């Protein structure tokens, strides 16, 4: 799950158990009020992804929790389904972070591919623009299809996040040029978002594109 650096750098081993909390050097013990779902990683029992997400609620702010939750349902390989996630939330009950979990659950969407996409989606929606579809297929004039990052299908507008590999990988760069040309021929307006681009600049470009395509109707 994508988490901020201060959480990723945590070196203590957190262990949940029924009854008395485990203790030991480098161990942080937690008392489990209900048996969580267990998965196995390299033969070791660990919390299942959805239960781990619930327990992170006490360490993450709301947007960080949403980004991690989007990864649970994300593309191309979800870590769990919506029913499994909701069952984990029910098991968590009213313990620490329960309010944040409920608030974040309302914002989770399937098919997200990165925390950057999640942040971009939240920025757009909180600014009052239509909710985009995530990584939905678009048919191109040459008979192939592609996925757009944030797709405003009704208005034929795309928000695309350009990662570092788009600049440094020549083959990727050539594929991007061909893809963007095909999208233009199909009538799509593409807004490319780069790392470090100001939120105001992103929203201004999106606003102009959507209004050029008749939004609001």
Q: Could you read off the pLDDT of 170-215 as tens digits, one per residue?
A: 888 888 888 899 999 999 999 999 989 999 999 999 999 999 999 9
- pTM of the complete model: 0.89
Q: Please give the backbone phi and psi of residue 111, each rounded to the nearest 5 degrees, phi first.
A: 80, 0
* pLDDT confidence of residue 208: 97
As a whole number of angstroms, the distance between CA 132 and CA 70 comes to: 15
Domains (range + CATH), the chain: 5-105 (no CATH), 115-212 (3.40.960)
As a whole number of angstroms, the distance between CA 162 and CA 142 comes to: 23
Convert 42-65 to b/e letters by CB count within 10 Å (16 or more is b).
eeeeebbbbbbbbbbbebbeeebb
Closest among 27, 22, 100, 36 to 68, alpha carbons compared: 100
For residue 65, what are its two tokens?
A: 């929790």
What is the percentage of the chain residues whose pLDDT exceeds 90? 68
For residue 40, what are its two tokens?
A: 């196995």
């Amino acid at each position: 799950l994508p988490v901020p650096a201060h959480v990723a750098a945590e070196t203590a081993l957190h262990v949940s158990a029924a009854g008395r909390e485990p203790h030991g050097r480098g161990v942080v013990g937690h008392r489990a009020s209900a048996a969580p779902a267990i998965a196995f990683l390299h033969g070791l029992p660990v919390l299942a992804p959805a239960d781990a997400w619930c327990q992170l609620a006490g360490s993450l702010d709301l947007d960080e929790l949403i980004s991690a939750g989007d990864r649970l349902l994300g593309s191309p390989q979800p870590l769990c389904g919506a029913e499994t996630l909701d069952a984990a939330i029910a098991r968590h009950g009213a313990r620490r972070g329960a309010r944040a979990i409920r608030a974040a659950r309302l914002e989770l969407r399937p098919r997200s591919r990165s925390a950057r996409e999640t942040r971009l989606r939240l920025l757009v929606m909180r600014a009052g623009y239509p909710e985009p579809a995530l990584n939905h297929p678009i048919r191109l004039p040459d008979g192939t299809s592609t996925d757009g990052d944030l797709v405003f299908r009704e208005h034929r507008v795309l928000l695309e996040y350009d990662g570092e590999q788009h600049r440094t990988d020549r083959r990727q760069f050539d594929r991007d040029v061909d893809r963007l040309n095909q999208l233009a021929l199909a009538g799509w307006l593409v807004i490319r978002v780069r790392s470090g681009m100001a939120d105001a600049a992103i929203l201004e470009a999106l606003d102009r594109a959507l209004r050029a395509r008749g939004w609001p109707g």
